[in-house]
Amino acid sequence: MKKLSRLMIVLTLAALVFGGLAFTARPAYAADTFNVSVYHNINGARLGLDRDLPVTAEVWKDGKLLAYVPLNFQDRFSADLPAGMYQIRIVADGIGEIPSMGIGPVEIPAGVDVRIQAQLGAGKTPVTSVRVK
């Protein structure tokens, strides 16, 4: 794996961990949930693929598969999820897993807002940026 890809994964995990610890109490959500918003912002045509670049996000919670979330270019997904240890794998149709876009495992506390955005990084590498509020 390229150094840049490893660095992006480490920075993503650090953002989730430290951001989650800094913001642990939000009255807008149930005491045991957090809100997540996911945005697919990669136009597959920029990679020589189908413009929609269909992917599936495999969402794992506490080591168990929680959901498969299918996404196409410009799709958005939001949900309130229970706090816990999460890992997300991104699998592109016809390509397989995209390791540079994986997240976790990372503990996500209750009461935070997590925004996950798929985008192209340096050298047109698909990456995931994560913001926690």
Range 3-132 classified under CATH 3.30.460.80: no
Backbone angles phi, psi at 67, to 5 degrees: -165, 155
Convert the pLDDT of each residue in 92-101 to its tens digit: 988 899 999 9
Provide CB contacts within 8 A for 96, sequence distance 6+. none
Going from N- to C-terminal start, the domains of the chain cover: 3-132
65 strand-pairing partners: 60
Q: Does the pLDDT of residue 28 top 90, yes or no?
A: no
Residue 30 burial (C-beta neighbours within 10 Å; 0-12, 13-18, 19+)? exposed
Convert the pLDDT of each residue in 63-81 to its tens digit: 999 999 999 999 999 999 9
Backbone angles phi, psi at 47, to 5 degrees: -110, 5
Q: Does the pLDDT of residue 18 top 70, yes or no?
A: no
